[in-house]
Structure 1
Amino acid sequence: MDVDRYGTAHTNADQRALAPFEDATHAVLAHRPNAGAALEAAIAFDPALVSAHALKGFACLTLAREELFPAARSAAQAAREAQRDKGDVTAAEAALVDALALGIDGRFGAAADRLHAFVATDPHALLHLKLAQSLRFMVGDVAGMLADTRAILPAWDETRPGFGYLLGCHAFALEETGEFAAAETAGRRAVALAPDDAWGLHSVAHVYEMRGRTADGIGWIEAARPVWTGCNNFAFHMAWHLALFHLEAGDDARVLHLYDTEVRPRPTDDFRDMANAVSLLWRLELEGVAVGDRWEALAEVARRRRRDTTLAFAALHNLIALVAAGDNASARELAAAMAEKAREETDQGDTIRAVGLDLAGVIVSFGSVPREAAALVALAPRLQNLGGSHAQRDVFVRTLARAAADRGDRAALDRVLAARRRLKCDDRFVADLAACLDRRPGLLIHG
């Protein structure tokens, strides 16, 4: 048995394969662009390296694109064949293969639980922890994210490779559960220990976003440009955070410049890139800022994905793009696909039943058919189920709030914003909505 630098135990590995597998693990931890090439190099040295095949499968799975599921299944099959070739595989390898199978079956939460069950027995298995965090993030299980990191932190110290990346995961989980001071401390320490820890870096940015510390956020992200510009497409997400701070500062021209040059510099269809772009343009639209013809490029991507409901979070962003571009037919087709998905007994089927269908209805009818106040109010506290972060889901909260304001319903608006205030402080958007209602007192509904 060989244990690599980041704690993954391998069965009878070709020694030449360990270094590139460690490189791949580092790329996953630090959101670097070389994970795929490193995995291919590891497999070239050891075609029966179980963990490398499993990690390839996870890479396909977490991209949440229906056309990549065959590749994920192929990687899972290769991992199982490698298991048979190796014989008595390590518990670390078995956990990866088992969790991948659960994820492919649409059970992301169960996959995360399987990984954590192994981490509970081997708290230094950092790759397993990182993958579990990613899966829990996708299903909105922030309590599980924090429980996982808290459980293993006592087994770590600064002498162990990767401690900074673990702290970055812990910082984000703290932030998402509202422990902002502790999150900032952990995130700053993470970056001090691992200067390329983009996740820890962005965890601190989340703290500043939620607490309204706009100048601090701009300064923090700009100072770290040499770090995050070397990331994979996570660089686009960091630019998105920077744009949010400038939006709050009222610098719309800077926001649009960031959109064109750093948030959406090329027309990818990665759901995370689409979420960045769609949510930023929608925020601008809700604040009355003209965005020109930028919606059409996003709608072109969304049209190609109008039957893809792999991830509700992604589908809802695609839906916004279609509605914003005026493609109502494609929007209705995507909403119908979501209704079909809701019949599945999977994590995402459950999510769409619980919140996705109702939110899709709000989005499809936005600006035309007023929604009942009760529907708007009921949705706000359920958005956590969609996955993503509070900052990302705020685009949906803003949509609900704007819909309530457009009804002239102050009571509904106050209740939507009350759910928002549990973690995020009021901002310019809230002030503008209140001012809008104050200017139309004849339309106000008080309950």
Structure 2
Amino acid sequence: MENSKTFSVNQRWKSEEAVSARTPDPAAHQHQDANQRPPGIEKEIYSKELEYGTGSSDQKFEESHTGGPAEGGRFKTWCRRYQMYIRTGKYLIIWLLFTGWWIAGLILRRKDLGWVVPFLVYLCITLRILFFYVPISIITRSMHWIWRNTARRFVPMIPEKYQTLAGAALVVAVILIGAFASPEAADNTRENRAVSLFGLAVLLGGLWITSKDRKRIVWRTVIVGMLVQFIMALFVLRTRVGYDIFNFIAMRATDLLAFAGKGTEFLTSGEVLKLPWFLITVVPAIIFFVSLVQLLYYINFIQWFIGKFAVFFFWSMRVSGAEAVVAAASPFIGQGESVMLIRPFINYLTMAEIHQVMCSGFATIAGSVFVAYVALGVNPQALISSCVMSIPASLAVSKMRYPEKEETLTAGRVIIPEDEGNKPL
């Protein structure tokens, strides 16, 4: 009997050994499969195990008691299924909140804040949410149709050789009417305005005389530049709406830069902040502004904003895309940083484009210099408005002094390369 029991045990042990020999080791099999799997397949297998319940028993036990990835998978599936409705609801809530803010501002703060700036902020937010669902081409096509059926119909009626002269006469008429029709002030008489206009004429005449090639001057760029500059000046200095808009921008910029003082006070003390030292009052604000610009670079806001801003000057003044980008960026981020936006094209810039890049940089002040002037007590509204008005003026002056004589690489397009190398730091 004992021999039979021993035989049965030995037979069972041998059979189990044979079965184990035929059955591969799970750890070794898993290691072998891991070596043969393509990269990234582990995450896919893990996600499928969670979805179909093929994970380990310990994992299933933990999920059943903690409500882990199983419930998370159902929640993610539900979110994907109703993603459009969730996004619509989120935008609707944001729009309703800003609508309430706008209505409350009109009722409670209209006397001190006015209605223009809150309305423009509310309008921008509303249009941005609307364009998530409605293509912006509806508006751009309508504007293009109006332009094509108004201005483009009248221009061909004028003989081609008189079109430039007619445009110049129109600009002169607008400048004269705007300069002499507005009421006088104690320090702003019509005699003073006449002296200023004479100085402008002398400046343009001097640029024409010293031009590199007077025959190649594109007068459309000069005419449009002078016209846009003067219209912007009238909008800021002679209208309440323009004054409120630029004053709002200046005040918000001042409030933003005041946070640098909070940081200085946090690191030192309130008594140190009261010291009239350049190192205490100006340098921290410059460091704060440069850091903020780098952050906006990282999230591609600077590239988006400047690209949209440059399209107008590219379309209206017929300059190359690189020139438009640098001219639009110079008042905000400075001369050196604006050139870095077109870093891949620097080696291919023509001499006229290089002249324009330098002219745009010297015509405006950078944001860090703006900080320094504001800290010294200069009116921030005058700084911002003059910098913006200098954009078309710098294009016009540069194209008179050094006209384009070569074929530009960025002609016909506005482009800001999306690479890490075009960032200033």
TM over 0.5: no
With normalisation by structure 2, the TM-score equals: 0.23
With normalisation by structure 1, the TM-score equals: 0.23
**Which structure dedicates a bigger proportion of its chain to helix?**
2
Larger Rg: 1 or 2? 2
